[in-house]
Amino acid sequence: MKTLVAAAAIALAGTAQAAPVAYRTVAVDGINIAYREAGDASKPTILLLHGVPSSSRMYDGLLRKLGDRYHLLAPDYPGFGNSDAPDPAKFAYSFDNLATVMQKFTDAVGAPRYVLLMQDYGAPVGMRMALARPQAVQALVFQNGNVYEDGLGAIWAKRKPFWADRTAHETDVIAVHQSVAATRARHVGSDPAIEAYDPDLWMDEYAYLNRPGQARIQADLIYDYQHNLAAYPEWQAWLKQRRLPTLVVWGKHDLAFTVPGAEAFKRDNPSAEVHILDGGHFVMDTKLDEVAAITGAFLGKLSSGAGASAGAAPAGR
């Protein structure tokens, strides 16, 4: 029965009329933040935080599929996508600072309450926002957004020497990070269905990654990522205490964040809904309809009150 319901939801998601997406900018502390917006602002708001080296562009398809029922906001971080990229000498590219800018972004666009949807870098940005302003967050959606050591793939062992001695390892780390091969591998991972992936996904990101100034920006954030691992216990304690309605959607072919990281959410929130899909790190690359159906069903339960926990109110603004 569950399979039939899921199949029906996917079919409906695929036939729904695509919602229009608007491409806007707003100034936050003098920085122009580009963002995508879909849906009526009177409807429940979903804040979508992207990964690396992507931008709000990764959510374009999801916005079109869910924008008929929800209000979706997908910003680009400073230094990413079409947002301004301030000089690293004047703007600290740290996860603390990205979270601060994103919090101010929600103020600037008038979104005081929202569901957080986080992928990759979106998880450490979003968790900082949640801890700083818990009353704003109604529910959590993680798409290959890791907050458990269980989910750290082998790639993270290669980061530790860089964290221990940045000067000695930065050139090599950034050369790999900005390469076509690494940018492709972030998408495909271990997925054998290589033909399902549009090469433009990584070639466009490769172009963004190699814009002037990007080497320093990316190096600063990779170096700062060590502080995310140190914060895992605090975030896990918050998840356990709050036990907000939580959806976890994970591509099983991700080499950076592995399936045990998805399953670990149930340790701190046994009611978390976990879906492991046959996709990669950016699972919507190949499983957009499934992700839209699963996410839409989860959000629908929030709107009806069926998915609300003691720590959360039904979704709304």
Q: Looking at 177, 187, 275, 281, which residue is catalytic?
A: 281
| Separation CA 209–CA 218 (nearest Å) | 8
Q: Write down the residue that tokens 């699963």 correspond to.
A: 294
By C-alpha distance, which of 39, 35, 23, 147 is closest to 102?
35
Assess contact for 283 and 251: CB atoms under 8 A.
Answer: yes
Residue 205 half-sphere exposure, CB side, CA atoms within 13 Å? 26
By C-alpha distance, which of 79, 58, 77, 273 is closest to 187?
58
Neighbour count for residue 271 (Cβ, 10 Å): 12
CA 138 remoteness from chain centre = 16
| Separation CA 157–CA 38 (nearest Å) | 39
Tokens representing 209 are 């990654």
Query: H or E stretch including 296?
Result: helix 284-304
Active site residue 253: no
Assess contact for 226 and 100: CB atoms under 8 A.
Answer: no
Helices (H), 60-147: 60-66, 95-108, 122-132
Phi, psi of 39 (to 5 degrees): 90, 165
E runs forming strands in the chain: 21-28, 31-38, 45-49, 71-75, 114-119, 137-143, 246-251, 273-277
Catalytic site residues?
281
